[in-house]
Amino acid sequence: MYGYSREEALGHISNQLLQTQYPGIKNSAFATVMETGSWEGRLVQTRKDGSVIVVDGKRVLDRDAGRILEVTREVTDEIAHSERFKVLVESVKDYAIFLLDTKGRVSSWNEGARRIKGYEDHEILGRHFSAFYPQEDIEAGKPERELRMARESGHVEDEGWRVRKDGTRFFALVVVTALYDLSGKLTGYAKVTRDITARQLERQRLLDLERSKSAFLNLVAHELRSPLTVLRGYLSMFRDASSERRRDLEERSLPALEAKTIEMSRLVDQMVEVARLEEGSLRLRADRVDLCAIADEAVGLVRALEEPPAHSIVFEPFPGELNVLGDPERIQMILSNLLSNAIKYSPSGTEVTVMLDQTAELGRVAINDQGVGIPLSEQIRLFSRFMRVDRPGSDHVPGTGMGLYLSRELARRMGGDIVLQWSGPGGSSFALLMPLAEK
Ligand code: ADP
């Protein structure tokens, strides 16, 4: 191992011959052997050819013979290997890789751990690893449970929220492995943690989307079912009626049949528009149109379709034309939506007012109702897709949450907007704003 022959070595003081160094050892190994009878430790020595080797040494005192027996085993390669491994672990940035002692205290810390969890070595070494868990998990005994499971099955995987040094949370994918020495004694745990917050948020987003989609399909099916029931009812009455009775039935049922058909086509039109919007295939005209005439028409339609007892719809026309740039069919659709909401969310017998005015650049149609109003907390989400306000007393009101979302998108794409001007327990006021056409 050292390269010396017996002749070359005999008679030399071994520490001089081998240039023995004691890395990190304060007490003299010689004194320890003399006092306690033995010494064990790591040594750095030099071969005859000058190369340095690392050995694990053991010295035992034979008092009677006045000798010290020294046994060494070379560990240079093992050390180089584990040093390389340390460097590898240390340089990993995307994973927190660290060790815990048997009590769960942090005993090593790598670059990834510093980056993901925010602690420097001196801030975390020696601290219990429950520092990484949210309070509720600590109270529920989760950190201890994780170690126990790792001990029992050798290895445990977990996903969940963890806490950084600054108190912010991240979603972690964690693997804990129990570590044992050759005799089977537990020496600690290795933990590898990955920050998968982005992935988790995306998962959550898809889940929410899936949920809102099926809730939406449910609502649409429900919305289509009620007018269909009315249509089918009338159809079977027609089928069974005598020819005189049919005439009478015709007169009574036509307005309802028309109203229900229009209700269904409006719903289908809205769905088609939303699909176009989201596919990016929506084409909008930019015609010069009279906002006042379109509003008048929308009011006329709503009035004709309302079943008694109805609202009183007050239309205050603009003196003269109010020419804006936009797609007349879409403006009509938006105003019908706003009017239908004003009616749906206010008690019958109350007034719905439609007023027009203009500013320097915009034409405005305001639709005011005396209805239930919208709680302040819901007002910011009002224009989100498929958003409906949950409030006691209006659960029975039909709707899909498409109307305001679609209306605002359409208005904005025509260079205008829809705004909630005010809302409270006494009612609400929505306005459509459209860019004025050149004179
Ligand atoms: P819906 O199909 O549910 O009517 P909208 O997108 O048109 O969908 O409206 C979204 C939500 O905004 C409705 O569920 C309703 O609670 C609320 N809302 C809209 N307009 C009014 C209004 N004039 N008064 C009170 N609440 C309204």
Q: Tell me what the mean pLDDT of segment 183-193 comes to.
A: 91
pTM for the model stands at 0.62
Determine whether the shortest distance from the Cβ of 342 to ligand 1 is under 6 A. Answer: yes
Give the atom of ligand 1 at the shortest distance from the alpha carbon of 388: 14
Instruction: Give distance in angstroms: CA of 292 to centre of ligand 1.
Output: 24
Q: Tell me what the mean pLDDT of segment 421-431 comes to.
A: 96
Looking at residue 26, its pLDDT comes to 61
CATH (residue range 201-278):
1.10.287.130
Assess contact for 306 and 343: CB atoms under 8 A. yes
Question: Does residue 23 surpass a pLDDT of 80?
Answer: no
Looking at residue 396, its pLDDT comes to 77
Determine whether the shortest distance from the Cβ of 389 to ligand 1 is under 6 A. Answer: yes
Tokens representing 179? 């570590």
Residue range(s) in the chain whose domain bears CATH number 3.30.565.10:
283-435
Residue 218's pLDDT band, with cuts at 50, 70 and 90, is confident
Question: Does residue 182 surpass a pLDDT of 80?
Answer: no
**Burial degree of 252 (CB within 10 A; 0-12, 13-18, 19+):** exposed
Instruction: Give distance in angstroms: CA of 341 to centre of ligand 1.
Output: 6
Instruction: Give distance in angstroms: CA of 257 to centre of ligand 1.
Output: 25
Q: What is the percent of the chain with per-residue pLDDT over 70, rounded to a whole number?
A: 98
Residue 16's pLDDT band, with cuts at 50, 70 and 90, is very high
Give the atom of ligand 1 at the shortest distance from the alpha carbon of 405: 6
Residue 362's pLDDT band, with cuts at 50, 70 and 90, is very high
Instruction: Give distance in angstroms: CA of 401 to centre of ligand 1.
Output: 7
Instruction: Give distance in angstroms: CA of 214 to centre of ligand 1.
Output: 19
- CATH for 6-76, options being 1.10.3720.10, 3.30.450.20, 2.130.10.10, 3.30.70.3270: 3.30.450.20
Give the atom of ligand 1 at the shortest distance from the alpha carbon of 337: 7
Instruction: Count Cα atoms within 13 angstroms, Cβ side, for 418.
Output: 25
Assess contact for 370 and 350: CB atoms under 8 A. yes
Give the atom of ligand 1 at the shortest distance from the alpha carbon of 367: 23
Determine whether the shortest distance from the Cβ of 106 to ligand 1 is under 6 A. Answer: no
Residue 385's pLDDT band, with cuts at 50, 70 and 90, is confident
Assess contact for 351 and 370: CB atoms under 8 A. yes
Looking at residue 87, its pLDDT comes to 83
Question: Does residue 181 surpass a pLDDT of 90?
Answer: no
Question: What is the spatial distance between Cα 238 and Cα 246, in angstroms, rounded to a whole number?
Answer: 6
Looking at residue 25, its pLDDT comes to 67
Looking at residue 170, its pLDDT comes to 96
Query: 92-195, what's its fold?
Result: Beta-Lactamase (3.30.450)
Residue 183's pLDDT band, with cuts at 50, 70 and 90, is confident
Bridge-partner residues for 315, per DSSP? 354
Residue nearest to atom 25 of ligand 1 (CA): 373
**Distance of CA 316 to CAs 3, 105, 355, 356, 411, Å?**
110, 76, 5, 7, 22
Q: Tell me what the mean pLDDT of segment 414-424 comes to.
A: 96
Residue nearest to atom 4 of ligand 1 (CA): 399
Question: Does residue 79 surpass a pLDDT of 70?
Answer: yes
Q: Please give the biggest Cα pair distance in the chain.
A: 137
Instruction: Give distance in angstroms: CA of 342 to centre of ligand 1.
Output: 8
Instruction: Count Cα atoms within 13 angstroms, Cβ side, for 47.
Output: 11
Instruction: Give distance in angstroms: CA of 326 to centre of ligand 1.
Output: 24
Residue nearest to atom 7 of ligand 1 (CA): 403
Mutate to test the pocket of ligand 1, among 385, 404, 405 (most ligand atoms within 8 A of CB): 404
Residue nearest to atom 18 of ligand 1 (CA): 341
Segment 238-259, tens digit of pLDDT: 999 998 899 999 988 998 898 8
CA-based nearest residue to 211, from 396, 393, 385: 385
Segment 303-348, tens digit of pLDDT: 988 877 789 999 999 998 999 999 999 999 999 999 999 999 999 9
Q: Look up tokens 């989760």; give the residue.
A: 142
Cis ω for the linkage preceding 309 (within 30 of 0): yes
Question: Does residue 439 surpass a pLDDT of 80?
Answer: no
Looking at residue 27, its pLDDT comes to 66
Residue nearest to atom 20 of ligand 1 (CA): 341
Segment 42-57, tens digit of pLDDT: 888 999 998 889 899 9
Question: What is the spatial distance between Cα 375 and Cα 329, in angstroms, rounded to a whole number?
Answer: 31
Question: Does residue 393 surpass a pLDDT of 80?
Answer: no
The mean predicted confidence, pLDDT, of the chain is 92
Starting at the edge strand found earlier in the chain, the sheet holding 427-435 runs 312-316, 351-358, 362-368, 427-435, 417-424
Question: SS in 3 state form for the chain?
Answer: CCCCCHHHHCCCCHHHHCCCECCCCCCCHHHHHHHHCEEEEEEEEECCCCCEEEEEEEEEEECCCCEEEEEEEECHHHHHHHHHHHHHHHHCCCEEEEEECCCCEECCCCHHHHHHHCCCHHHHCCCEHHHHCCHHHHHCCHHHHHHHHHHHHCEEEEEEEEECCCCCEEEEEEEEEEEECCCCCEEEEEEEEEECHHHHHHHHHHHHHHHHHHHHHHHHHHHHHHHHHHHHHHHHHHHHCCHHHHHHHHHHHHHHHHHHHHHHHHHHHHHHHHHHHHHCCCCCCCEEEEHHHHHHHHHHHHHHHCCCCCCEEEEECCCCCCEEEECHHHHHHHHHHHHHHHHHCCCCCCEEEEEEEECCCEEEEEEECCCCCCCHHHHCCCCCCCCCCCCCCCCCCCCCCCHHHHHHHHHHHCCCEEEEEEEECCEEEEEEEEEECCC
Residue range(s) in the chain whose domain bears CATH number 1.10.287.130:
201-278
Instruction: Count Cα atoms within 13 angstroms, Cβ side, for 304.
Output: 15
Instruction: Give distance in angstroms: CA of 375 to centre of ligand 1.
Output: 11
Determine whether the shortest distance from the Cβ of 383 to ligand 1 is under 6 A. Answer: no
Determine whether the shortest distance from the Cβ of 339 to ligand 1 is under 6 A. Answer: no
Residue range(s) in the chain whose domain bears CATH number 3.30.450.20:
6-76, 92-195
Instruction: Give distance in angstroms: CA of 344 to centre of ligand 1.
Output: 8
Assess contact for 22 and 43: CB atoms under 8 A. yes
Segment 295-307, tens digit of pLDDT: 999 999 999 888 7
Q: What is the percent of the chain with per-residue pLDDT over 90, rounded to a whole number?
A: 70
Radius of gyration of the chain (CA): 41
Distance of CA 190 to the CA centre of its chain: 29
Segment 92-149, tens digit of pLDDT: 889 999 999 999 999 999 999 999 999 999 999 999 999 999 999 999 999 999 999 9
Question: Does residue 394 surpass a pLDDT of 80?
Answer: no
Looking at residue 252, its pLDDT comes to 87
Query: 283-435, what's its fold?
Result: Heat Shock Protein 90 (3.30.565)
